[in-house]
Chains A and B, each alone.
Chain A
Amino acid sequence: MHRVLTNEQLSPNVYRLVVEAPRIAQIRKPGQFVIVHLGHGAERIPLTIADGDPEAGTISLVIQAVGKSTFDLVELQPGDVIAGIAGPLGKPTELPESGRVVCVGGGVGTAVILPIARELARRGVRVTSIIGGRSREWVILEDDLARCGEVVTCTDDGSYGRPGFVTEALKDTLEAGGIDEVFAVGPVPMMRAVVALTKPLDVPTTVSLNPIMVDGTGMCGGCRVTVDGVTRYACVDGPEFDGRKVDFDELADRLTTYRPFERAALERREACKVGLKTGERGGVAAPAAAGAAGGAR
């Protein structure tokens, strides 16, 4: 049993939950995730560990409410309990010790970028974070990232920061030169667009993938992705891979497997819960959980 300590809304549909998970808080590393199981009948939802406090025995999870299961999660109040949290899962990010790195975060993917940027800054790597959202209210974690280095914030509608997509800002940064590595996490189209920029320049680019998962331990194969022509399991071989080798078309396609189901589940939920506090839904191309949750990022 894991108690929820705080629940804070970061954007119209993104929330940060701080929950008790002492063991995971102690040993987790940037890039790793957990699988959250609310209780009997609930889905297993993969969520990146956005932060952890080993002294307090807590981890924070940044959750985008897009499907039935993620709505159930973000409605938890302090004092509520989560039945199970398994982890930390996946391989930790392989981080450089020096040099200059750009971290690109789209939507809730920004939450995955944060622990990476933080660790890089701690190691003395020069970090530039490029983050974005549809408009000002969709930009998350800007202050946290600002503590790790320079932040370029973009909004599609120009309501805040630099107008346009994160990839446009990245293009300028890359053209200015001196970038040793890029970390990019966000919706599949964003990661694909990032790689389209970095690949011709031969800049190493790590992306964090979010395919559909069930167990998170390698036993189902549902999370299979093609990297460099080989099938890999994102839960154990990843979730981070060399973006220049990832088959994004296949990933994007496999993520649509349960679309009709997701809609139906959401409609059922809304039918029995009228007057739900919701934000605008599905901002970034909303991804993966065990299927319908549409969770992690």
Chain B
Amino acid sequence: MTLEQEPPAPEPRPALTQKERMQLKRVDMPEQEPQIRAANFAEVNLGLTEQLALIEAERCLQCPKPYCIDGCPVRVNIPQFIRLLRDGDVKAAAASLLDDNALPCVTGRVCPQESQCEKVCLRAKTGKSVAIGHLERYVADWAMAHADELARSPAAQAGKSVAIVGSGPAGLTAAGELVKRGYDVTVFEAFHAAGGVLIYGIPEFRLPKDIVQAEVDRLVAQGVKIEADAIIGKTYTLPELRERFDAVFIAVGAGLPVFMNVPGENLKGVYSANEYLTRVNLMGAWDPEADTPLLHGQRVVVVGGGNVAMDAVRTARRLGAASATIVYRRSHDELPARAEEVHHAEQEGVIFEFLVAPTEVLGDENRWVTGIRCIRMALGEPDDSGRRRPEPIEGSEFEMPCDMLVVAIGTRSNPLLTQTAPDLEINKWGYIVTDEHGMTSMPGVFAGGDIVRGAATVILAMGDGKKSAESINAYLTGNWPPAVVEPEPAHAAKPAAHERPPRPAAAGVAG
């Protein structure tokens, strides 16, 4: 692996001309072979070698007006870290990246780059964009392997305390930013382990748990306290936390599973994606010797088209499913999952049934699932999300056999916390309402991530964590309200990816 290799000695290399750069082809990410990886949980992407990373870095044109920065929800200074890498100073590249992004090892693996930074990359206009995500991962992995070289000196104590509720990407990012500024930070997490979706949802083969754990350990080493098994709304209430701490940041995610609401959903062998993935990832049930049991379907159907659905179907395949099928009510083009996940799933032999929606779950006399009844769909007029609305085709019902069904059609807000906080304003879907600084209707209480946006992405959650940390700092240092500094756009017309809220990570069946 590249991680163990020494960084290249900064030796001056002849600079390429723009024309020469344009001729370089985008490098491919080395991967495990599909046939081999479809039976293991090791990471699919192996990471760029040093040589590949340096070639790819040369492809960046160092645009004077870098669109890519606008395309990034946390505005990572992409051309800068790529230039430092290209010039042979990987340590400076790592320092630059870490300044902008608290969890680059994570985002380098799970961000939908193709709809953010890489989408607006100038090179995408005439060919393939710079592989920004792969380069980010390369630099971030170097940083993780050389953490001691990048260690920061501890911040002066600010003498104020902040409670963070939830340890997903939003909570961890805020914790990192606040501890950097010298706050006494305690993270409350309902589960026994920190990381949120990064630890219970996204599987090992996409995001190794060691990486998430290393990020958590780094925060703990910096002084962040983590109180696991603490459910806010049960173990403590939000008003109690507000009294104990000078400020609170709520980042509890959108953790409640949505079911299809069709007959037969409570049959044995029907899982929510949350339950299936939590058993496998957090509880370690991919190991047959684990204490937590898991059903191993031979013919598995997963309903949904988002990242969650791809993770579930590829997990089932790795756990021995002879056939693993995605059932999605729209077509390939509308799949909300990251393009790379869809591509990987296809390579691993996952079957895709497009324009199909389940209407009933079928079972045998022992109430084990035996299949689903489905109806075919056609795409009609665009709906609110801008995607063409799927409409059922009358008389097109058919049955699809399966012995395990995973429902991955989205998630919604969990009322546990909000129902014990009457002063906290929520919208009609139960998501927390915040102002432009991330503050909720309760003074000193901030919120961000999926519990504000609805199911979105890791990077948007991290962006909220970062912004809220800045707001909390302003609030606790008496600079309230902070001046709203709109980042200067590099160009007049903002890229579409930046303007439109992201689609939910999965697509529903009904409605």
Contact = CB atoms under 8 A, between A and B. Distances in A.
Do A and B form a real pair? yes
B234 interface: yes
B55 interface: no
A268 B272 CA distance: 29
Nearest to A265: B291
A172 to B, nearest CB: 35
Contacts of A226: 266
Contact of B229 (A37, A68, A265, A291): A37
Interface in B279-294: 279, 283-284, 289-293
Contacts of A41: 284, 290-291
A193 interface: no
B339 interface: no
A215 B229 contact: no
Nearest to B417: A217
A217 B190 contact: yes
B19 interface: no
A215 B234 contact: no
A43 B416 contact: no
Q: How extensive is the interface on chain B, given as a class? A: 35 or more
Nearest to B257: A221
Q: How extensive is the interface on chain A, given as a class? A: 35 or more
B275 A214 contact: yes
A15 to B, nearest CB: 19
Contact of B235 (A86, A253, A262): A86
A218 B190 CA distance: 11
B400 interface: no
Contacts of A297: none
B278 interface: yes
Given A44-B283, A221-B257, A250 B192 contact: no
A290 interface: yes
A84 B266 CA distance: 30
A43 B283 contact: yes
Interface of B is mostly: loop
A23 interface: yes
Contacts of B275: 214, 220-222
A155 interface: no
B245 interface: no
Residue of A221, A253, A256, A258 most packed against chain B (CB within 10 A)? A221
A237 to B, nearest CB: 11
A43 B257 CA distance: 21
Contacts of B192: 37, 44, 83-84, 86
B54 interface: no
B153 to A, nearest CB: 31
Contact of B293 (A219, A236, A265): A265
A80 to B, nearest CB: 17
A77 B364 CA distance: 45
Contacts of A291: 279, 292-293
A36 B13 CA distance: 59
Contact of B272 (A35, A37, A220, A250): A220
Nearest to B261: A231
A43 B190 contact: no
Given A41-B284, A84-B228, A86-B229, A253 B414 contact: no
Contacts of B91: none
A286 interface: no
Interface in B377-426: 414-416
A257 B266 contact: no
A217 B233 CA distance: 10
B454 to A, nearest CB: 15
Nearest to A257: B268
A292 B291 contact: yes
Contacts of B440: none
A205 B267 CA distance: 26
B257 A219 contact: yes
A293 interface: yes
Contact of A253 (B230, B284, B295, B367): B367
B291 A218 contact: no
A217 B274 CA distance: 12
Nearest to A37: B192
A290 B291 CA distance: 9
B266 A231 contact: yes
A43 B291 contact: yes
Contacts of B349: none
B231 interface: yes
A220 B278 contact: yes
Interface in A121-139: none
Contacts of A23: 235-236
A88 interface: yes
A86 B231 contact: yes
A74 to B, nearest CB: 15
Interface in B231-258: 231, 234-236, 255-257
B185 to A, nearest CB: 20
A219 B233 CA distance: 14
A210 interface: no
B259 A219 contact: no
A37 to B, nearest CB: 5
B265 interface: yes
A269 to B, nearest CB: 9
A256 B269 CA distance: 11
Interface string A156-197: 000000000000000000000000000000000000000000
A265 B234 CA distance: 32
A236 B255 CA distance: 13
B41 interface: no
B234 A214 contact: no
A233 to B, nearest CB: 9
A221 B257 CA distance: 7
Contacts of B291: 41-43, 68-69, 265, 292-293
B96 to A, nearest CB: 36
10 contacts: A84-B228, A87-B235, A215-B278, A221-B274, A222-B271, A250-B367, A258-B293, A258-B295, A290-B292, A291-B279
Given A86-B192, A218-B415, 16 more contacts: A23-B235, A37-B229, A85-B229, A86-B230, A87-B234, A89-B234, A214-B283, A215-B190, A215-B278, A217-B255, A217-B416, A218-B255, A219-B257, A219-B414, A221-B275, A231-B259
Question: Which 8 pairs from chain A and chain B are nearest by CB?
Answer: A220-B275, A86-B229, A261-B293, A219-B255, A43-B291, A291-B293, A258-B293, A221-B272
Interface of B: 190-192, 228-231, 234-236, 255-257, 259, 265-266, 268-269, 271-272, 274-275, 278-279, 283-284, 289-293, 295, 366-367, 414-416
